[in-house]
Structure 1
Amino acid sequence: MKRVLAISLSLCLASLGCNKPIAEQVPDSIHRYVDDNLIDAELSRNAKLAVTLSRTRELSVWDNTSKALLHQWQAEDFDKPIYQVSLSANNKYLAVTGKHQVSIFDLNSGRLELSWLAQGFDTDASISSLYLNQSGKRILLGMSEGSVITIDLESNQLSMFQLHDGPVSHVEFISYDERILSAAHDGHALIWASSNGQVIGDFSLPQRISSISFDEADRRLFIADAIDNHLIADSHSAESVGQLAFLERYRYFRQALFTDRGKTLITASSKQKIMVWDISSGKEKKHWNISAFTAGTTVLDMVVSPSGQLITLSSDGALETWRLKSAEY
């Protein structure tokens, strides 16, 4: 049963396919920000900034052009360990969360703006996913018991919706913040109204969702689960628009990114491999590996820059740039 809660919020300050893929390639550039494994990391939408959260809980913000350190906080700057990071699209704010605490930093000054404790419908629920919108004034929190919390910092309004039956692994605002895309371990990816929680689209797979990408301009949605199931669909009609062709029984996708006006999909595996897919044929166009400095290296985030380069940030803290053909972005 769907549960909805709206209250006033007072925030306290403080494939392989049939054809052989193109040969592997090397990065145009590589720079390792930290000599440590990362818990979480994020690239800004315009690829100008990188945020790294290391295993020692050192939180850093970097300029990807100059490679300069802009801000840094140590583990002792937080009351509890932090696990997740999210940048606003305007690059002005950074949100971080622990299991229950949310903190917002102003990236102009580096000061802590707000901090509070989040609570789901279940008082024992913890934060499982995080998203900061374009302006940095609206926040989404996915919770371990299946609820999603929306927070408007300007109106001090909090709303809570329980639409999933398992930990929410992904949340994001779409359609100018009027809709929300959420995915969870219950195998469902939902598009729903941010105002009242009304479900507009429900896309499901048998197992927990492991990867998701949404191309709002071209209405395309990609989801993959923890085994080998995936779906590429028109987000409005829910009709399938493609299927990836690969021979392996299990193909795990950790990250995914639509490019080329929804005609191309770039995916990252649970290990080091990057794959580029043609949506119309489902065939893999090429693949390569990111640089690995330790065992178990994987891609934590990737974006396509305005100039058309693919930018990847690994769990080793390595920022790499890759040349894409013009038809792939």
Structure 2
Amino acid sequence: MAFGLILTGCSKPVAKQQANSIHRYIADNLIDADLSSDAKLAVTLSRTRELSVWDNVSKALLHQWQVEDFDEPTYLVSLSGNSQYLAVTGKHRVSIFDLNSGRLELSWLAQGFDSDASISSLFLNQNGKRVLLGMNEGSVISVDLESKQLSMFQLHDGPISHVEFLSYDERILSAAHDGHALIWASSNGQVIKDFSLPLRITSISFDEAERRLFIADALDKHIIVDSYSGKSIGQLAFLDRYRYFRQAIFVDRGKTLITASSKQKIMSWDISSGKENKHWNITAFTAGTTVLDMAINPSGQLITLSSDGALESWDY
């Protein structure tokens, strides 16, 4: 078991770096965005509700939909793990697109336990056949598109900020504004692990083995735990008060954690010591730019997609 050290006094300057490449897809702020797990595709949803799918290698536009193509304003996007399907939601309506043809596969209205509840988070599974919807009244809806079955569980007391399938869809990870991150059985809603922090969860990430779990809240609290035993396996060492993490991704088989702040800063951390390896800033085209998603490409580079619509590659 490895615990990070709380650093005091002076420390060596942390190395900074420049992006290996940068490409801005659109000159507009994004409401939401998603990178495929291999970083080969990017989805951008602009402030004008223009929805686009891009090839990150050629930078070609593959598909595009305009605001009038939807029955209500769209807010959330999610690519399937195999990059074959795209889920899009407004506050109430869910739409699934086939990315081979660009056609709309199906669309429906989602309703939580509260009839006035709206969708606050979205996840599409590996093959694009199961959808998770987090609702703002604390419920999670699981939809099997092949069997046409729907399950709904109320496990949180506030808006759901994150949902994802684990273990071949047998388990679900959900996090909410109530400060709880839960791992639970998708079949019956039974809670397996409950991790809690004082404030709403702002960032959460698993390593590839679904063993190491990073959770951070809206102030400066965070934990790195073994998801099976629940025991701490590390602590990031930083002096700042109010360190806010917006995104996080484990790399190097869980040995390194990369985090993005609410502003432009990216940080790379050594999990065994808790020390920061390096930090750098993404390219900002507007004052409020931040990282919306991160992924590792086949070449082993970190790919970031910002709220300015800028795709950048980095050595971490």
TM class by shorter-chain length? over 0.9
Q: Alpha-carbon deviation of 1:249?
A: 1.0
Q: Alpha-carbon deviation of 1:279?
A: 0.8
Please state if 1:80 is matched with 2:72: yes
Aligned equivalents of 1:304, 1:202: Cα separation in 2: 29
RMSD, aligned CA: 1.2
Please state if 1:194 is matched with 2:186: yes
Partner of 1:205: 197
Partner of 2:263: 271
Please state if 1:25 is matched with 2:22: no
SS at the partner of 1:76? helix
Aligned equivalents of 2:271, 2:124: Cα separation in 1: 29
Aligned equivalents of 2:17, 2:313: Cα separation in 1: 11
Given the superposition, is the C-alpha separation of residues 285 and 37 from structure 1 closer, same or farther in structure 2, using an over 3 Å criterion?
A: same
SS at the partner of 2:68? helix
Aligned equivalents of 2:208, 2:193: Cα separation in 1: 14
Aligned equivalents of 1:291, 1:72: Cα separation in 2: 25
Instruction: Give structure 1 stretches of 5+ with no counterpart.
Output: 1-14, 325-329
Partner of 2:89: 97
Aligned equivalents of 2:210, 2:90: Cα separation in 1: 34
Partner of 1:8: none
Choose which of 117, 120, 125 in structure 2 pairs with 1:128: 120
Partner of 1:177: 169
SS at the partner of 1:96? strand
Choose which of 33, 37, 51 in structure 2 pairs with 1:45: 37
Give per-residue Cα distances to partners, 1:55-88, cap 9 Å, x unaligned.
0000000000000000000001111000000000
Range that drifts further, 102-111 or 216-225? 216-225
Contact 2:143–2:149 (CA under 8 A) maintained in structure 1: yes
Q: Where in structure 1 do 4 or more consecutive aligned residues deviate above 4 Å?
A: 15-18
Aligned equivalents of 1:263, 1:293: Cα separation in 2: 32
Partner of 1:327: none
Q: Alpha-carbon deviation of 1:215?
A: 1.5
Give per-residue Cα distances to partners, 1:155-174, cap 9 Å, x unaligned.
00000000000000000000
Choose which of 32, 50, 70 in structure 2 pairs with 1:58: 50
Range that drifts further, 211-220 or 114-123? 211-220
| Paired letter, 2:83 | N
| Paired letter, 1:231 | I
Partner of 2:155: 163
Partner of 2:100: 108
| Paired letter, 1:103 | S
| Paired letter, 2:245 | F
Aligned length: 310
Contact 1:175–1:216 (CA under 8 A) maintained in structure 2: no
Contact 1:274–1:287 (CA under 8 A) maintained in structure 2: yes
TM-score by length of 2: 0.96
Partner of 2:282: 290
| Paired letter, 2:260 | A
Given the superposition, is the C-alpha separation of residues 218 and 157 from structure 1 closer, same or farther in structure 2, using an over 3 Å criterion?
A: closer
Please state if 1:150 is matched with 2:142: yes
Q: Alpha-carbon deviation of 1:38?
A: 0.2
SS at the partner of 1:233? strand
Q: Alpha-carbon deviation of 1:22?
A: 3.1
Instruction: Give structure 2 stretches of 5+ with no counterpart.
Output: 1-5
Q: Alpha-carbon deviation of 1:19?
A: 3.0
SS at the partner of 1:297? coil
